Amino acid sequence: MTANARSPEFGPEHLAEVRRLQGLYPDKRGALLPVLHLAQDTFGYISLEVEAYVAGLFELSPAHVHEVVTFYTLYFQHPKGRHVVAVCHNLSCHLLGAKGIIEHLTQRLGVEVGETTPDGRVTLLSVECLCACEQAPMMQVDDRYEGNLTPEKVDGILGGLR
């Protein structure tokens, strides 16, 4: 696999996976989301150059791929931190204090939502419903969910992120 910032390109194994994914759908565009995840895993994030490369694999315009990338919160357009902390800001979480949790996180981390700490440790996001409203306020930390958040609980979770 090749991960050049100027001309990103999948290696033969990943290209075979792209073709396999495209073959699963009547219209190969159905595979765009998983191929974008593959691109993100391969290149670290979805730069404009990666968007253009993926667009070529689907015979789509780079603008079309850009719309998809910017619609979903879990595609990163810049290098992300070693950990991704994504706080739900939707209704149940909002009513139970998500705004205060987000403010607490921005103060503790010293970054705004959408930014990564200068040491590359944490990227902070604010996202739509995480489908665990009964544990509001909720956040996702990498691949696990943390609910019933309080500032104290958030501090404990942050302390465990290296």
Binding site for ligand FES (CB under 6 A): 88, 90-93, 129-130, 132-133, 136, 138
What sign has the CA pseudo-torsion 88, 90, 95, 100? positive
Phi, psi (rounded to 5 degrees) for 37: -65, -40
Q: Toward ligand FES, which CB reaches closer, 112 or 128?
A: 128
Q: Toward ligand FES, which CB reaches closer, 44 or 147?
A: 147
Smallest gap from Cβ 68 to ligand FES, in A, equals 23
Smallest gap from Cβ 31 to ligand FES, in A, equals 28
Smallest gap from Cβ 38 to ligand FES, in A, equals 27
Smallest gap from Cβ 138 to ligand FES, in A, equals 4
- Determine the Cα–Cα distance for residues 41 and 37; give it in Å rounded to an integer: 6
DSSP 82-103: SEEEEEE-SHHHHHTTHHHHHH
CA 33 to chain centre: 12
Q: Toward ligand FES, which CB reaches closer, 123 or 140?
A: 140
Q: Toward ligand FES, which CB reaches closer, 40 or 90?
A: 90
Q: Could you say which DSSP state residue 133 is in?
A: G
